[in-house]
Structure formats: C-alpha cells, structure tokens
C-alpha cells in the first residue's frame, strides 16, 4: 500500500510554481498534460525496450527506467489535482499481464480518461499505471524517493527558466 497525500501535495506546489512562472494560472491544461503523459509513457516504453522484438539490445538501466516512470507520475498527479481527484492510497498489487499489454492498457486508460474526465476513469488510469510500476518491479518507497528527487530537479528547472 502506498500513501499518496505527500506526492499530491508536493505536486501541487510544483504546479503552482509552473503556473506562476509561465503566467498560466487558471488555464485549463488538461489536453496538454494528457498529451505530455502519452509522450512520457512512450519514452518509458522505449527505455524498457520491451516491445522491440527485432532488437537484441537490452533495456536501459533501472534508474533511467524509474526516472521515466516518475516523469509519467508527475503528469498523472498534476491531472488529478486539476480535476480535484486526489487519491489517498493505492494497493501495489502484482499484475499477471505481460508488460506490453500493461503499457497498452495505460495508453488506453489515458485516452479513456481524456474522453470521459471522471473520477472513476482517473482512478482506473492511476491503478493501471501502478500495476505497470509493479510489473517493472518498482517498490513504493523507491517510487517516492525517485519522485522527490525528480521534483527537486523540476523546481530547479523552473528557477532556471527551463
């Protein structure tokens, strides 16, 4: 079980900073954030190389894959905050699907959420994303630690005019 209040709060602080820095307070960025999430999911899949049946090259280092996973998490949290959907905890259950099927499921759940911006479709996306994390063998504490580290980088990028 992973407690999420801390990550939602920390994400809200980053989102506020980004909005102020870019003078976009109050602007609906749902479409942009969903597209960004889809791009990040593609980058995550690319680093795992799980779908590259034509290649013998192995996946990137675990830390690189975790960083890409956390990049996705930033957007999922941010989208939830924008819509007022804050999840308090999620069970980190093992999923018996193959990794490529889970990647496709997360893409599909993201599009479903885009088409139906409900708390139910958000929760479904969130849970499927965490099932993918479990399949990637990530534990809750390392996800949190990597999220905190990347969040600091994102704050610094805003300070530097990224």
What whole-number distance in Å separates Cα of residue 29 and Cα of residue 31?
A: 6
Three-state DSSP at 116 gives coil
pLDDT at 1 over 60: no
Give the tens place of pLDDT for each residue, 131-149.
Answer: 999 999 999 899 999 999 9
**Contact (CB, 8 A) for 10 and 150:** no
pLDDT at 26 over 90: no
Three-state DSSP at 6 gives helix
**Contact (CB, 8 A) for 84 and 8:** no
Give the tens place of pLDDT for each residue, 56-96.
Answer: 999 999 999 999 999 999 999 999 999 999 988 777 666 78
**Contact (CB, 8 A) for 17 and 70:** no
Integer CA distances (angstroms), 92 to 26, 134, 143, in order: 33, 7, 11
Contacts of 128 (CB under 8 A, 6+ apart): 102, 105, 106, 109
Q: What is the pTM of this model?
A: 0.92
3 vs 52, more confident? 52
Instruction: Kindly state the tokens that stand for 110.
Output: 């993201």
Angle at 17 between CA 39 and CA 84, to 5 degrees: 70
């Amino acid at each position: 079980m992973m407690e999420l209040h801390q990550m939602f709060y920390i994400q809200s602080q980053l989102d506020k900073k980004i909005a102020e820095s870019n003078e976009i307070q109050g602007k609906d960025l749902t479409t942009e954030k969903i597209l960004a999430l889809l791009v990040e999911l593609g980058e995550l899949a690319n680093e795992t190389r799980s779908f590259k049946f034509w290649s013998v090259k192995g996946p990137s280092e675990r830390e690189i894959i975790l960083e890409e996973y956390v990049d996705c998490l930033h957007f999922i949290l941010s989208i939830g905050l924008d819509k007022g959907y804050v999840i308090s905890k999620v069970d980190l259950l093992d999923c018996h699907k193959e990794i490529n099927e889970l990647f496709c499921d997360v893409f599909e759940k993201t599009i479903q959420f885009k088409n139906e911006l409900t708390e139910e479709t958000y929760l479904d996306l969130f849970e499927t994303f965490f099932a993918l994390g479990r399949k990637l063998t990530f534990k809750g504490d390392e996800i949190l630690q990597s999220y905190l580290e990347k969040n600091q980088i994102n704050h610094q990028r805003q300070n530097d005019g990224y």
